[in-house]
Amino acid sequence: MMSEGKKEIVDIIDAGMMGYQEAWDLQTALHQELVSNKRAGYPVPQHHYFIMCEHPPVFTLGKSGSEDHLKINEQERAAHQIEYYKINRGGDITFHGPGQLVGYPILDLDLIFTDVHKYVRSLEEVIIKVLQKYSINGIRSNRYTGVWVANDKVLDEEKKICAIGVHLSRWVTMHGFAFNVNTNLSYFDHIIPCGISDPNKSVCSLSSLLGKDVNLQEIKRQIATEFGLVFDLNKRFIPLESLNQFTFKT
């Protein structure tokens, strides 16, 4: 466990625009690195990573999701140039694409805190803190994960601005959150987002709420700051190229 008074360090990587398969391969390699070091009894200090990136258009289906929530077929996806992956995170189907900030923490929670519920709530808290900087009240739903924004004029109507789906193995995390910043929301018309068919539950983006696009690099800086504060970690920014020991698929 973490020594009293000493913070763990998280390496923050801005990966820019990255294909989904490449990002998944990177996560898997880093996850295996952490698990192997743990199994060996921590012969070297454990690394924690936090990858931030955008993806080209892609639908991903979590292990508990239903393909019935994908409303277009393979030919239609090809026509719209949308990829599709079945993956090992929790949750149902969601969309990733340009203008959406995706965050992938690869953390050894044995050295931070061993509480899955707290972990998910902490990811939500990071986004809620960033939304506050734009005078937006991000809230949690009683029934669903993620961060939502309530409609003050319509009772019980909420729009999801950030989806969360995680996977843990030996208390090492994978996957994470998808924060709609400048996302083209029309892609969500092709799915039942997160498998939620409630007409009072839909999606939104930061730009749709503000009526203008937002500087994504500024959002990344704000996310990194709040991530360090919420998880009580010291941050270290490293370039993607420093991870060139891993072989990525294209």
**Catalytic hit among 53, 162, 194, 204:** 194
**DSSP string for residues in 104-151:** EEE-BGGGT---HHHHHHHHHHHHHHHHHTTT--EE--SSS-SEEEE-
Task: Read off the pLDDT of each residue in 131-136 and give the average, rounded to a whole number.
Answer: 97
| CA–CA distances in Å: residue 190 to residues 32, 72, 77, 82, 160 | 34, 6, 9, 10, 16
**Residue 58 burial class via C-beta count within 10 angstroms: exposed 0-12, middle 13-18, buried 19 and up:** buried
Give the model's pLDDT for residue 245.
53
pLDDT above 60: residue 4? no
pLDDT greater than 50 at residue 1: no
As a whole number, the mean pLDDT across the chain is 90
To the query of whether residue 53 is one of the catalytic residues in this protein, the response is: no
Q: Which residues, in sequence order, are CB contacts of 203 under 8 Å at separation 6+?
A: 159, 160, 161, 180, 185, 188, 193
The DSSP H or E segment spanning 27 is helix 20-39
The per-residue pLDDT for 249 is 38
Give the integer Cα–Cα distance in Å for 151 and 203: 12
d(CA 166, CA 176): 5
Tell me, yes or no, if the pTM score tops 0.85.
yes
**Percent of the chain with pLDDT strictly greater than 70:** 94
192 or 45: whose pLDDT is higher?
A: 45
How far apart, in Å, are the Cα atoms of 17 and each of 6, 88, 199?
A: 34, 22, 32
The C-alpha atoms of residue 231 and residue 27 are separated, in whole angstroms, by: 19
Q: What's the confidence (pLDDT) of residue 244?
A: 60
Q: Is 55 in contact with 102 (CB distance < 8 Å)? A: yes
Dump pLDDT digits (tens) for 143-201. Answer: 889 999 987 766 678 999 999 999 999 999 999 999 999 999 999 888 877 777 777 88
| Encoded amino acid at 180, one letter | N
> What is 9-243's CATH number?
3.30.930.10
Residues 230-250: what's their mean pLDDT?
77
Per the structure block, which two tokens stand in for 2? 């973490």
DSSP 78: H
